[in-house]
Amino acid sequence: MALLVFAAGVGALSRFDPAAGLAFAAGGAALLAALFGRALLRPLEEIGRFAVARAAGDMERRLRWRTGPGRPIADALDHAADAVSARIAQADSEKEQLQAVLGGMVEGVLVVNATGRIVLANPRLRQMFSAWGEVTGRTPLEVIRHAGVGDVLRAAASTQELVSAEIQVAGAEERSILMNAVAFPASGPRLGTVAVFHDVSDVRRLENMRRDFVANVSHELKTPLTAVRGFAETLLSGDVPPADVDKYLGVILKHADRLSNLIDDLLELSRIESRKVPLQRTAVDVGRVAASVMAGMEPQLRAKSLGVKLIDEAPGEALADRRAVEQVLTNLLDNAAKYTNSGGHLEVRVSDAHDGIRVEVQDDGIGIPDEDLPRIFERFYRVEKARSRDLGGTGLGLSIVKHLVQAMDGDISVSSEVGRGSTFAFTLPRAPISRNGP
């Protein structure tokens, strides 16, 4: 409509004065341009505001410019912006998932780019290598300070294969870390290398323990067997004077007993460790159990003229397995008797501990050197091998004691002085007070 009026005006004017007509036409053109310009600018401005709002995270924002020929464009822009937003949301959620996985992994993960700079290091990796602070963009050597890691990363970067190596990491306790590294992507130009670190220290320690254990058991079995065999062969050869036959048979019997003790202790240890026979924990009067164990050992104690005393402070009952408590006391008293010279004294005290029942088995025997004390509960550990064997020891008694006490949620400790004697003390949890009982 404005256009028709304007055209009519131009026509009318040009009939009278060409210059005025021209001026009028120029003014009209400017007016038209301004009108069209405004009409064009408004949607463009709105698109701009829309883009800024979307970029700032306002995902609900829609283009209001919905009229006339602009509508398909507005729809297309809204649609495109929604698609971009959906992708961003998906990427965000994938990133969060990845972060959660990396954060929760027990393995350390390290990713370096093609120039060997760190792109990613998960929390476990930082903990494994005590790598704190900013690590992105730095080299593994700067952060991890282990030459072996760099060697494996370089080796992996130059091959298609997975490269594995076990590295030792020094620290308060040396740890064995299995490292697997592979370059990515599998084909095409290399973008970097990803390495996964698995702490295998416990596995290695168990393997070593098992190896040592098998070696120890074989050795322990072999010694008495060799003796039994040697003495039996000598007897069979007929070279033994009849007066010595009994002595030889006695030696054979002693070694056969040792073998049998050893096998009993091994079976007991494996039974406790495998927890195949669960402990039956009930309220146990430890003082009474101690009295009965001591009574059972009387012949052994009398043979060595050992004085023995039980001090039962009646601290109440422990939550324990009666048979296990018997076994613990038997082993400790047996040791006390074995490693105390004739005429010595043994004492068992059952008392009230801060949070349970405390039992002390004390002797005034040979004592244990300070340097041996930390290892005394290890399997087959003996201060004097020959003395222990002579006394029929297997080197497993204290190991069994420790396992049993711990299986009952107790603690055991030892204090000793060479030449003055030893005290083994263990605690057991207190049994809950029975509501029906006295």
166 or 384: whose CB is closer to ligand ADP?
384
CB of residue 361 to ligand ADP, shortest distance in Å:
8
Asked if the peptide bond before residue 185 counts as cis, ω within 30 degrees of 0, the response is yes
CB of residue 324 to ligand ADP, shortest distance in Å:
16
Residues 357, 430 contacting (CB under 8 angstroms):
yes
Phi, psi of 420, deg, nearest 5: -115, -25
108 or 395: whose CB is closer to ligand ADP?
395
Residues 153, 116 contacting (CB under 8 angstroms):
yes
Side-chain half-sphere CA neighbours of 157 within 13 A? 17
6 or 381: whose CB is closer to ligand ADP?
381
- Spatial separation of the C-alpha atoms in residues 150 and 193, rounded to whole Å: 11
CB of residue 356 to ligand ADP, shortest distance in Å:
23
- Spatial separation of the C-alpha atoms in residues 207 and 310, rounded to whole Å: 43
107 or 334: whose CB is closer to ligand ADP?
334
327 or 331: whose CB is closer to ligand ADP?
331
Residues in CB range of 267: below 8 A, 6 or more apart: none
Please give the DSSP secondary-structure letter assigned to residue 410.
-
CB of residue 214 to ligand ADP, shortest distance in Å:
18
353 or 366: whose CB is closer to ligand ADP?
366
* Helix (H/G/I), strand (E/B), else coil: 176: strand
Q: Mark out the alpha helices in 343-396 (DSSP H runs).
A: 385-390
121 or 383: whose CB is closer to ligand ADP?
383
192 or 367: whose CB is closer to ligand ADP?
367
313 or 384: whose CB is closer to ligand ADP?
384
Q: Which residue has the tokens 């594995």?
A: 164
- Spatial separation of the C-alpha atoms in residues 13 and 27, rounded to whole Å: 13
Footprint of ligand ADP (CB under 6 A): 331, 335-336, 339, 363, 365-368, 376, 381-384, 388, 393-399, 422
| 307-312 vs 345-353, strand pairing mode | parallel
Phi, psi of 118, deg, nearest 5: -70, 130
- Spatial separation of the C-alpha atoms in residues 240 and 238, rounded to whole Å: 6
18 or 307: whose CB is closer to ligand ADP?
307
130 or 260: whose CB is closer to ligand ADP?
260
CB of residue 438 to ligand ADP, shortest distance in Å:
37
Query: Which residue pairs, CB below 8 angstroms and at least 24 apart, start in 382-390?
Result: 388/338, 389/223, 389/258
| Per-residue exposure over 354-377, b if at least 16 CB sit within 10 Å of its own CB, e if not | eebbbbbbbbbbbbbeeeeeeebb
CB of residue 145 to ligand ADP, shortest distance in Å:
42
Residues 145, 129 contacting (CB under 8 angstroms):
yes
- Spatial separation of the C-alpha atoms in residues 183 and 191, rounded to whole Å: 8
The three state secondary structure string of 75-106 is: HHHHHHHHHHHHHHHHHHHHHHHHHHHHHHCC
Cα R_g (the chain), whole angstroms: 44
CA dihedral 258, 273, 377, 202 (to 10 degrees): 130
